[in-house]
Amino acid sequence: MKKQHYIIPVLLLSSLLLSGCGKTQNAVDNVPSPNTVDSTTDNTAGPAADNAPDPAETNKADTDVQDMPTDQPQETPKPQKATISLKEDYSDTERAVSVLGLQEYKKIKTEKYTDKASKGKKYLVLFLKIRNMGNEKDYFNVNYLTAEVDGKETENTFLFNEPEGYPTIFANIGAGETAEGFIVWEVPEDWKKIKVTYKGWEDIDGLTLDADLSRKNLKKPGQYNGKD
């Protein structure tokens, strides 16, 4: 009877050991294999790699930004000088200017008025033709005119009469119109050279217009045609 009591505890112990081995085997079986981990990692990394920005596209975007125009102030027109004479006209998209003649007078007399130069002086009259090719009227302004006679600054004067039938050139010139007129100075009888400078267009497009004339350029203008 005592042997039976020993057998029962042995059987219980064996049963417990076998149960523990089963649980251990199940735990080992549940450990993920290396292949399973790698597969999961690859699947996760795939979409992220596909969404990464293309370096070429990034550089192109940066270039496009640099190429975009920026709001910058307009540059001031560069000053330019032009010269007119009896043989050389000036023209651009806005205007055309030419010298029609250069005459000197001691006296200009009509039925109404008599213009007579001071003693030892003469009237020197420059005849011009100006074509306004712009879209707005243009005013040839006396305030922008200067002259030097033999190196000495000389102001223009005025006449009551109209030499050779020409009016003064200081007037409005309508868009598309042409004006012919004169400028006059009282100069020494033995004058040699005159330099005339007009800066009325300097603020508009940087143009300064000069006329360098001498006694050998004296020439009577043609018949006055008025505005057209």
Quickly state the pLDDT bin for 226 (edges 50, 70, 90). confident
Instruction: Look at residue 39 in the predicted model and tell me its pLDDT.
Output: 44
Report CA-CA distances (Å) from 77 to 53, 144, 206. Answer: 46, 18, 6
- Asked if residues 166 and 226 have their Cβ atoms less than 8 Å apart, the reply is no
Query: Percent of the chain, pLDDT > 90?
Result: 62
Contact 176, 133 (CB under 8 A): yes
Residue 226 backbone class (left: φ over 0; alpha: ψ -120 to 50; beta: rest): left
Reading the block at residue 94, the tokens are 């806005």
Q: What is the pLDDT of residues 29-73, one digit of tens each?
A: 554 544 444 444 444 444 444 555 555 555 555 555 455 555 555
| Location of structure tokens 């018949």 | 223
Domain ranges of the chain: 80-217
Would the pLDDT of 21 be above 60?
no
Question: Rounded distance, CA 153 to CA 175, Å?
Answer: 33
Lowest mean pLDDT among 16-25, 80-89, 193-202, 214-223: 16-25
Looking at CATH, the fold of the domain delimited by 80-217 is given as Immunoglobulin-like (2.60.40)
Asked if the model's pLDDT at residue 227 lies above 50, the reply is yes
Distance CA 201, CA 141 (A): 10
Instruction: Give me the pLDDT at residue 225, please.
Output: 83
Highest mean pLDDT among 16-20, 123-127, 204-208: 123-127
Number of continuous H segments (helices) and E segments (strands) in the chain? 4, 13
Q: Is the pLDDT of residue 206 over 60?
A: yes
Across the chain, mean pLDDT equals 80
Nearest to 76 by CA among 163, 203, 166, 187: 203
- Residue 38 or 96, more confident: 96
Residue 151: per-residue pLDDT = 96
Cβ distance 118 to 105 under 8 Å? no
**Predicted TM-score of the model (pTM):** 0.67
pLDDT of residue 114: 97
- Residue 157 pLDDT > 80: yes
Residue 68: predicted pLDDT? 52
Dump the DSSP string for 10-74: HHHHHHHHHHHHHHHHHHHHTSPPHHHHHHHHHHHHHHHHHTSPPHHHHHHHHHHHHHS----PP
For residues 101-113, average pLDDT: 96
d(CA 91, CA 201): 13
